[in-house]
Structure 1
């Protein structure tokens, strides 16, 4: 018998790229919320999802993930960085988020994302690390500290951010503040090739633990690229920023039904 939650399927199932949830995550999250053109934001929402508010949230994250702990002993399987782009919307009278695009530098994370409606692609993500030391290289989370982040895909820079901390307490933004939806497709080349139905899903996130968040402001810039559409959601003003350490657990996802693209 061949086993495995995802390919490849083998007698023991140990070769599967991604094991079944729960998936536990801990890491540093830099969040930046800024305005964009509402009409542009609306084009990235599924039909009937809700009204675009004209705000986007970018998260730059450095994560460590595990299922039952074994990955922490082999960190090449646990650690990765990602750039998340969310479109804020009003849905049934409440503020929610939709994830139209996201990039990661780890194949394990990419497949986990596809399963829970996070449309991940591979990219190179960098962010300034902060250490709790009084030293020029430590970037401590205090007023006046400057930090940066960037995203590149296939040798092209798509985004960069310059953050200045102000010494205040940061607020929860994006997926740390409210429900965040995504789409799961069912593409197939069996018989007639088809993209399959698009299902709106809501990942099940539990066990959130957060440390202190530092606040600041950010300049967030997006750049044109031939095969990525991030620049269509260019910021039209400065961003509110927050950075800190967060831990969450993903237990699965809720199917919200088939939607039109």
Structure 2
């Protein structure tokens, strides 16, 4: 007999307990602030289509890789215990033309180093997996180790997945204002779907959602030129994008709040 619905738990996600204190993720709103290096690229639209739900639309042959160093919280208590708040991730988004002609950003791959972020992402339709991201930080100091944001400054970033280097990027600031790229410039759409082990032979039927993002601040981006390299990997499917040609790049800070999600 299924008695789950008679359980007076207070957990938004597992583990389900009476207090809800041990839940991996509390309910929204989720507040994010981060330092990002964004590299826009050209890719092969025909093969990239295998990574995009057909009902969403067709890739146009452009995308962006975001290297991000985030801090996130709910009511703010996480900021006093930063192991709950901080994480780094690498995000791949593709620009997609929808059947109505509008464009959106779709994320076929994303890697993160924190379980809280991983579950939050899956709930929003971001297909997060575990990976190790490193990127140059810029600090508000006029000092060689602070990487101040001025012309000629070189920033680097990398992603390793399952102990294998997958992506490397190198960006050089031009000294000119930059622009938001990828999901910072287009509405982001994700695919949410979960298998049911009571019917293990049936694949999940994902549905498309768009995060309800509000209270956006920052976004004064610094322009950069960039190079981008993707390495072969025995499990990841980025090879479907073909050779990636970096177009432009930007670096800077942004803050957003996610209040939930809507059908896309």
1:2 to 9, 12, 17: 9
Map 1:81-230; keep pairs closer than 5 Å.
Answer: 81-91=88-98, 92-230=100-238
2:24 aligned residue: 17
Give the structure-1-normalised TM-score.
Answer: 0.94
Give the secondary structure class of the aligned counterpart of 1:41.
Answer: helix
Number of aligned residue pairs: 256
- Mapped partners of 2:237, 2:199: distance in 1: 30
- Mapped partners of 2:14, 2:142: distance in 1: 47
1:38 to 45, 49, 52: 45
Residue 210 of structure 1 deviates from its aligned partner by 1.1
**Residue 241 (1) aligns with residue 259 (2):** no
1:259 aligned residue: none
- Mapped partners of 1:142, 1:192: distance in 2: 54
Give the structure-2-normalised TM-score.
Answer: 0.93
**Residue segments in structure 1 that go unaligned for 5+ positions in a row:** 257-261
Residue 34 of structure 1 deviates from its aligned partner by 1.1
Residue 235 of structure 1 deviates from its aligned partner by 4.1
1:120-170 Cα offsets, whole Å, 9 max, x none, are: 001000000011222221111110000100000111011010111100101
- Mapped partners of 1:235, 1:217: distance in 2: 18
**Residue segments in structure 2 that go unaligned for 5+ positions in a row:** 1-7
Aligned CA-pair RMSD: 1.3
Preserved contact between residue 58 and residue 84 of structure 1 (Cα < 8 Å): yes
Q: 1:229 to 1:255 in 2, by over 3 A?
A: same
Preserved contact between residue 132 and residue 161 of structure 2 (Cα < 8 Å): yes
Residue 14 of structure 1 deviates from its aligned partner by 0.3
Residue 227 of structure 1 deviates from its aligned partner by 1.0
